């Protein structure tokens, strides 16, 4: 669906906020109350969009627009870059609806892809115009097809960076049934030099933008996570991916798994539930960012019966508090990503809200994290800020999101690549 129809749909829901968009429009002048450019608030600024890029930005009175540009008046709204989701699984849905094992073993790939199309739309409508999708969780390379469908404008959704199958050490992942039964796994098993090189190259050849590796995991039920791949194996994974221009991200929750991943040179470490000050300092030294996914553990604890605000925090969440305290003390860079799919797609802001409310991260830091910081950490120089030449991925919300992160719940406008998307 192209610009004219989408624009008219949106404008019908924003009565009084914009002039009518005609079919010939390829440029917009957006006039909000203020612009958050990914770093700083600028009251009274406006943004000129031409085709899929930002053409100009600055004080409204000084911004000249071509005669054919159509003006979107956005009184009382803040315009900011489209949000960037750092950790999602489009092919999963909340575990309180269907357990992970059952999604992998019992849901057909057709059903999972159909769900994912709805997940992609909800993500975009929530203001997230880019998302790292970190593993198809047993759905093979379906995330590559989902990305292609979005890029070809067959379905609405964010710009996806996909990790496809992800890598696990043989025997360390799941689902697991009887020792006599081999079942489809939620990730690709690989070991040793030849196996690792082959798996990494295979995933890249099938369309992976990112290689994801499980640096630690549970070897059996009811036991703690332990490091899986050796240091040499992790380093080889990173080197093989880097030779093809791909970053590696690591699932790691133990200090040893995190240490090995950091030494290997991954881009980000996900979760870090038992991270220590020592390992976070190592990550900072090595330029490895931390994506804490606090919302996922919170959601899982509630699925298991914890009543937030009434019951004492489970040990898992108490440990997460210690980990986050160490991370903040170390100065390691924090990426914002919620492990969406554990909880509902479209509720992506849950991670940012909990980082502010439960872990006392400054609102401005989290807002920058969702925009310019995530863009920088994920090596996406064409987005995450509002400046000339970057992608016209923009959203508008009421009030001042630098003071109240919950303002991002009230999406009034989503523009992706210069195309206005209806909320």
pTM value > 0.85: yes
194 and 73 in a common domain = no
- 215 and 157, same structural domain? yes
**Does 38 lie in the same domain as 119?**
no
pLDDT in tens, 317-364: 999 999 999 999 999 999 999 999 999 999 999 999 999 999 999 999
262 and 289 both lie in a single domain? yes
Residues 122 and 257 in one domain: yes
Q: What is the DSSP string of 164-188?
A: TT-EE-TTSSS----TT-----SSE
Mean pLDDT, rounded, for 362-387: 98
Same domain? For 242 and 362 the reply is yes
Q: How far apart are CA 353 and CA 231, in angstroms?
A: 35
**What's the CATH code of the domain at 78?**
2.30.40.10
* pLDDT tens-place string over residues 260-269: 999 999 999 9
DSSP 6-62: HHHHHHHHSTTTBPPPPTT--EEEEEEEEEE-SS-EEETEEEEEETTEEEEEEEGGG
pLDDT for the residue numbered 220: 85
pLDDT at 14: 40
Domain match, 215 and 321 both: yes
Check pLDDT > 80 for residue 11.
no
Domain around 78: 3-82+383-421
How many structural domains are present in the chain? 2
Task: Assess whether 98 and 54 both reside in one domain.
Answer: no
Q: What is the pLDDT of residue 180?
A: 87
Rounded Cα distance between 379 and 321, Å, is 29
What digits encode the pLDDT tens for the residues 126-181? Answer: 999 999 999 999 999 999 999 999 999 999 999 999 999 999 999 999 998 888 88
State whether 89 and 199 are in the same domain.
Answer: yes
Checking if the pLDDT of 185 tops 50, the result is yes
Indicate whether 321 and 224 sit together in one domain.
Answer: yes
Average the pLDDT over 203-209 and give the result. Answer: 98
Local confidence band at 198 (pLDDT 50, 70, 90 cut-offs): very high
Is 76 in the same domain as 151?
A: no
Which one of 359, 377, 395 terminates a domain?
377
What is the per-residue pLDDT for 361? 98
């Amino acid at each position: 669906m192209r610009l004219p129809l989408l624009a008219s749909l949106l404008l019908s829901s924003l009565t009084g906020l914009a002039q009518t968009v005609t079919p010939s429009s390829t440029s917009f002048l957006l006039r909000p109350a203020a612009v958050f450019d990914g770093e700083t608030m600028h009251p009274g600024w406006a943004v000129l969009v031409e085709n899929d890029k930002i053409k100009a930005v600055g004080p409204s009175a000084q911004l000249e627009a071509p005669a054919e540009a159509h003006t979107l008046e956005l009184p009382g709204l803040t315009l900011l870059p489209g949000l960037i989701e750092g950790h999602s699984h489009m092919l999963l849905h909340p575990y309180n609806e269907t357990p992970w094992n059952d999604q992998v073993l019992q849901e057909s790939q057709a059903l999972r892809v159909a769900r994912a199309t709805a997940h992609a739309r909800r993500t975009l409508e929530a203001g997230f115009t880019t998302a790292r999708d970190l593993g198809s969780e047993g759905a093979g390379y379906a995330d590559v097809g989902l990305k292609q469908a979005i890029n070809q404008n067959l379905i609405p959704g964010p710009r996806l960076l996909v990790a496809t199958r992800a890598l696990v050490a043989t025997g360390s992942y799941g689902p697991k049934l009887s020792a006599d039964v081999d079942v489809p796994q939620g990730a690709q098993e690989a070991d040793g030099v030849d196996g690792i090189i082959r798996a990494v190259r295979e995933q890249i050849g099938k369309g992976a933008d990112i290689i994801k590796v499980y640096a630690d995991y549970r070897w059996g039920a009811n036991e703690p996570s332990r490091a899986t791949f050796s240091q040499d194996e992790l380093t080889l994974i990173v080197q093989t991916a880097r030779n093809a221009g791909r970053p590696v991200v690591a699932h790691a929750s133990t200090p040893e798994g995190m240490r090995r991943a950091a030494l290997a040179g991954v881009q980000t470490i996900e979760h870090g539930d038992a991270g220590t000050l020592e390992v976070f300092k190592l990550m900072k030294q090595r330029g490895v960012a931390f994506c804490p996914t606090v919302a996922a553990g919170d959601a899982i604890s509630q699925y298991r019966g914890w009543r937030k605000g009434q019951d004492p925090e489970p040990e898992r969440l108490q440990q997460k508090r210690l980990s986050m305290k160490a991370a903040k003390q170390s100065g390691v860079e924090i990426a914002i990503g919620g492990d969406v799919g554990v909880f509902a797609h479209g509720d992506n802001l849950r991670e940012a809200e909990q980082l502010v409310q439960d872990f006392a991260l400054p609102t401005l830091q989290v807002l920058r994290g969702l925009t310019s910081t995530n863009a920088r950490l994920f090596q996406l120089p064409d987005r995450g800020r509002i400046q000339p030449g970057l992608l016209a991925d923009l959203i508008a919300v009421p009030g001042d999101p630098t003071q109240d992160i919950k303002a991002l719940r009230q999406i009034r406008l989503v523009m992706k690549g210069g195309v206005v998307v209806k909320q």
